Protein backbone atom coordinates (compact mmCIF):
# COMPACT_ATOMS: atom_id res chain seq x y z
CA UNK A 1 0.00 0.00 0.00
CA UNK A 2 2.88 2.33 0.78
CA UNK A 3 4.40 1.71 -2.64
CA UNK A 4 1.12 2.65 -4.37
CA UNK A 5 0.92 5.90 -2.38
CA UNK A 6 4.50 6.80 -3.29
CA UNK A 7 3.85 5.96 -6.94
CA UNK A 8 0.69 8.08 -7.08
CA UNK A 9 2.47 10.97 -5.33
CA UNK A 10 5.28 10.75 -7.89
CA UNK A 11 2.79 10.75 -10.77
CA UNK A 12 0.98 13.74 -9.25
CA UNK A 13 4.25 15.65 -9.07
CA UNK A 14 5.12 14.59 -12.60
CA UNK A 15 1.78 15.92 -13.86
CA UNK A 16 2.29 19.23 -11.99
CA UNK A 17 5.67 19.94 -13.63
CA UNK A 18 4.28 21.11 -17.02
CA UNK A 19 1.61 23.16 -15.26
CA UNK A 20 4.17 25.20 -13.34
CA UNK A 21 7.38 25.04 -15.35
CA UNK A 22 6.38 23.84 -18.82
CA UNK A 23 6.02 25.75 -22.06
CA UNK A 24 2.56 27.12 -21.22
CA UNK A 25 3.00 27.00 -17.45
CA UNK A 26 1.85 29.55 -14.91
CA UNK A 27 5.28 31.09 -14.50
CA UNK A 28 5.68 31.76 -18.23
CA UNK A 29 2.15 33.09 -18.51
CA UNK A 30 2.86 35.46 -15.64
CA UNK A 31 6.06 36.62 -17.35
CA UNK A 32 4.23 37.15 -20.66
CA UNK A 33 1.50 39.14 -18.93
CA UNK A 34 4.16 41.44 -17.45
CA UNK A 35 5.72 41.91 -20.90
CA UNK A 36 2.33 42.69 -22.47
CA UNK A 37 1.58 45.20 -19.71
CA UNK A 38 4.92 46.95 -20.29
CA UNK A 39 4.28 47.02 -24.05
CA UNK A 40 0.81 48.56 -23.51
CA UNK A 41 2.29 51.23 -21.24
CA UNK A 42 5.02 52.07 -23.78
CA UNK A 43 2.44 52.19 -26.59
CA UNK A 44 0.26 54.59 -24.60
CA UNK A 45 3.27 56.86 -23.99
CA UNK A 46 4.16 56.83 -27.69
CA UNK A 47 0.56 57.58 -28.71
CA UNK A 48 0.53 60.59 -26.36
CA UNK A 49 3.89 61.78 -27.74
CA UNK A 50 2.67 61.40 -31.32
CA UNK A 51 -0.51 63.35 -30.55
CA UNK A 52 1.57 66.15 -29.02
CA UNK A 53 3.90 66.24 -32.04
CA UNK A 54 0.94 66.19 -34.43
CA UNK A 55 -0.62 69.11 -32.60
CA UNK A 56 2.65 71.02 -32.71
CA UNK A 57 3.04 70.38 -36.45
CA UNK A 58 -0.50 71.63 -37.10
CA UNK A 59 0.25 74.71 -34.98
CA UNK A 60 3.42 75.45 -36.92
CA UNK A 61 1.64 75.02 -40.27
CA UNK A 62 -1.48 77.04 -39.47
CA UNK A 63 -0.58 79.79 -37.05
CA UNK A 64 2.23 82.14 -36.21
CA UNK A 65 1.84 81.81 -32.45
CA UNK A 66 3.89 78.63 -32.20
CA UNK A 67 6.64 80.03 -34.41
CA UNK A 68 6.77 83.19 -32.33
CA UNK A 69 6.91 81.20 -29.09
CA UNK A 70 9.79 79.07 -30.35
CA UNK A 71 11.66 82.15 -31.53
CA UNK A 72 11.26 83.77 -28.12
CA UNK A 73 12.20 80.85 -25.89
CA UNK A 74 14.67 78.86 -27.99
CA UNK A 75 16.37 81.65 -29.96
CA UNK A 76 15.92 84.56 -27.49
CA UNK A 77 14.40 86.76 -30.17
CA UNK A 78 12.17 89.76 -29.51
CA UNK A 79 9.76 91.74 -31.65
CA UNK A 80 10.60 95.08 -33.14
CA UNK A 81 9.94 97.99 -30.75
CA UNK A 82 9.75 95.55 -27.84
CA UNK A 83 11.85 95.91 -24.70
CA UNK A 84 13.45 92.79 -23.22
CA UNK A 85 13.89 92.71 -19.46
CA UNK A 86 15.61 89.81 -17.75
CA UNK A 87 15.64 89.37 -13.99
CA UNK A 88 18.61 87.43 -12.67
CA UNK A 89 18.40 85.87 -9.21
CA UNK A 90 20.95 86.92 -6.63
CA UNK A 91 24.16 84.90 -6.95
CA UNK A 92 23.39 83.73 -10.49
CA UNK A 93 25.41 84.75 -13.49
CA UNK A 94 23.49 86.27 -16.36
CA UNK A 95 23.35 83.91 -19.36
CA UNK A 96 25.51 85.03 -22.24
CA UNK A 97 23.18 86.05 -25.01
CA UNK A 98 23.82 88.21 -28.00
CA UNK A 99 22.32 91.63 -27.47
CA UNK A 100 19.33 92.53 -29.59
CA UNK A 101 19.74 95.38 -32.06
CA UNK A 102 18.56 98.73 -30.77
CA UNK A 103 15.22 99.95 -32.12
CA UNK A 104 15.41 102.76 -34.65
CA UNK A 105 15.46 106.25 -33.17
CA UNK A 106 12.21 108.20 -33.41
CA UNK A 107 12.42 111.55 -35.22
Q: What is the pLDDT of residues 52-63, one digit of tens each?
A: 999 888 887 887
Answer yes or no: is 54 within a domain.
Answer: yes
Cα 90 to chain center, whole Å? 34
Query: How many domains, the chain?
Result: 1
Residue 8 located in a structural domain: no
The neighbour count for residue 70, using CB atoms within 10 Å, is 14
At residue 33, the pLDDT reads: 93
Element (H, E) at 90: none
C-alpha 22/C-alpha 75 separation (Å) is: 60
pLDDT tens by residue, 17-73: 777 777 777 888 888 999 999 999 999 999 999 999 998 888 878 877 777 877 887
pTM: 0.47
Report the pLDDT value the prediction gives residue 81, as an integer from 0 to 100. Answer: 84
In a domain, 98, yes or no: no
The domain containing residue 64 runs over which residues? 26-76
Please check the confidence at residue 82 and state whether its pLDDT lies above 90.
no
Amino acid sequence: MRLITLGLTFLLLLIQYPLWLGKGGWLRVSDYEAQVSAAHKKTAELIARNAKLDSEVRDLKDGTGAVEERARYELSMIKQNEIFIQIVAKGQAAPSATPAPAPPAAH
